[in-house]
Amino acid sequence: MRPAPNLAAVILAAGKGNRMSTDHPKVLHEFNGKAMIHWVVDLAQELGADPVVVVVGYQHELVEAALEGRGVAFALQHPQSGTAHAVEQTRRHLIDFQGDVLVLSGDVPGLSARTLKSLIKRHRDTRSKGTMLTADVDQPKGYGRVIKDDSGHLVRVVEEKDATEHERAICEINSGIYVFDAHALFATLPLIQNNNKQNEYYLPDSLYILKEQNQVVAVEKAEHFREIQGVNTKEELRRIHEDVPH
């Protein structure tokens, strides 16, 4: 099921998941009989990604133990300072990699290979240096909103805490899933700044930097929001159990 050669994957799995009301690492909570992180690792490997690098942080020993023998590498993020900072921790594993890097979230267990193959195809067909997966959702609260120009091209992603009232009314959201040309990704990461209310380094900023450099960036929209829904609470995990076929 390989979409094409030269694909690596980075899986972000460093968070605690404070709203899960438990000390257990969020990505180790089970979805349909196995830990969420296992679904995401299996999907990356099903697509032929090699290497697969998992970014760990909170109780990283438990996450690493749960993935023992799965053929993945680990990068430690401490402190946790945003998604761009997380990907930066994988540099030593991927700095010499020639190809595309798929960035996934360890708490999105309902994602399908079909959707990711469409994302990768859009990225490669457009010769993009960075491509974002988005989705439409009726209630976008909590998600970064995707701002586009009149031609449908990406302008920026604004996090809810930084958004205006008008921007919060936008229903197209950033899934937190991307594919980048490896060289372009690691060239832009050091240029990202943390000028936001969270003082974090946001990965979508790589796309804006690429645009400023007159590089091609693209957007692919998932067919169903339920596929890209992340898990932040036990209620959301229960809802995904009901909504996502596996």
The Cα-based distances of 214 to 84, 103, 133, 182 in angstroms read 21, 22, 20, 17
Q: Is 168 a catalytic residue?
A: no
The Cα-based distances of 154 to 20, 21, 211, 215 in angstroms read 33, 36, 9, 12
Sign of CA dihedral 46, 74, 192, 204: positive
**Active site residue: 2, 19, 114, 127, which one?**
19
Query: Under a CB-based contact definition with an 8 Å cutoff, are residues 73 and 28 in contact?
Result: no
Intra-chain end-to-end CA distance of the chain, in Å: 18
Q: Which residues contact 124 (CB under 8 A, 6 or more apart)?
A: 4, 100
Pull the structure tokens for residue 34. 């196995």
Cα 81 to Cα 77: distance, rounded to the nearest angstrom: 8
Cα 220 to Cα 209: distance, rounded to the nearest angstrom: 19
**Residues with a known catalytic role:** 19
